Amino acid sequence: MASGVRVRATVPTPYRLSFVVGGLLSTEAMITAPLYLGLHDWTAVRSVLIADNLLHARTRATAVRLAREVVQRMSTLSDVELSYLATALSPDRRHLMWAAACRHYEIVADFAHEVLRDHYLRGIDVLIAADFERFWDAKALWHGELEETTPSTRAKIRTNLFLAMRQAGLLEEGSIVTPLMSRDVRMLLEQRTPSDLRFFPVRSSL
């Protein structure tokens, strides 16, 4: 190496590790999308969700947590996607909310792309907790925040991730399921660069 040349290591952005409750939040999205389309202000949407308890939370603390979570995820969707989601049938809504979870949580996106879809493309049709544990341990080499996470938080993230995959129709009794994705949703996901189809156990033309 030439004298005086410095090599700068790339430090990955820390993962958000608050993906511990709520699953897919597809039902909550059905309430939130029309509200946003009327207000076009996520701060106002969150305030209304909490003040009127539109998400039917048992306590105010739960209402605050759910409102924050659904707003954070749905704010990753475009206005076109939100307009479609507002009147979409359940499968389409669930697929868009899985994409939203992946966009907001890089750890979910990485697992979806590097484990879920990779298994599918390699013909492995089973996804188990051990796959998540191996993924976590591998990522911990580059993400120090994973090493510092408590075992209970790690377990909650794994549980919520598998719940979200089941609710999205991507996993059933431990087996990977290829979703019957509508043409409209597929087109919306393919408009992203790279294509958000990478988060699903499907083949892409891109």
Domains in the chain: ranges and CATH: 26-199 (1.10.3540.10)
- Specify the pLDDT at position 204: 75
The chain-wide mean pLDDT, for the chain, equals 94
Quote the percentage of the chain above a pLDDT of 70: 94
Q: Which two tokens stand for residue 45?
A: 């949407």
pLDDT, tens digit (0-9, with 9 covering 90-100), for 82-139: 999 999 999 999 999 999 999 999 999 999 999 999 999 999 999 999 999 999 999 9
Model pLDDT for residues 16-53, shown as the tens digit of each residue: 999 998 999 999 999 999 999 999 999 999 999 999 99
Is the pLDDT at 2 greater than 60, yes or no? no
Residue 5 pLDDT exceeds 80: no
Angle between the N-to-C axes of helices 60-74 and 90-104, in degrees from 0 to 180, rounded to the nearest 10: 90
38: left (phi > 0), else alpha (psi -120 to 50), else beta? alpha
pLDDT over threshold 50, residue 1: no
pLDDT value, residue 205:
52
Of 142, 175, 137, 188, nearest to 158 by C-alpha is 137
What is the average pLDDT across 177-194? 95
Reported confidence tier of residue 206, pLDDT bands at 50, 70, 90:
very low
The whole-model pTM stands at 0.93
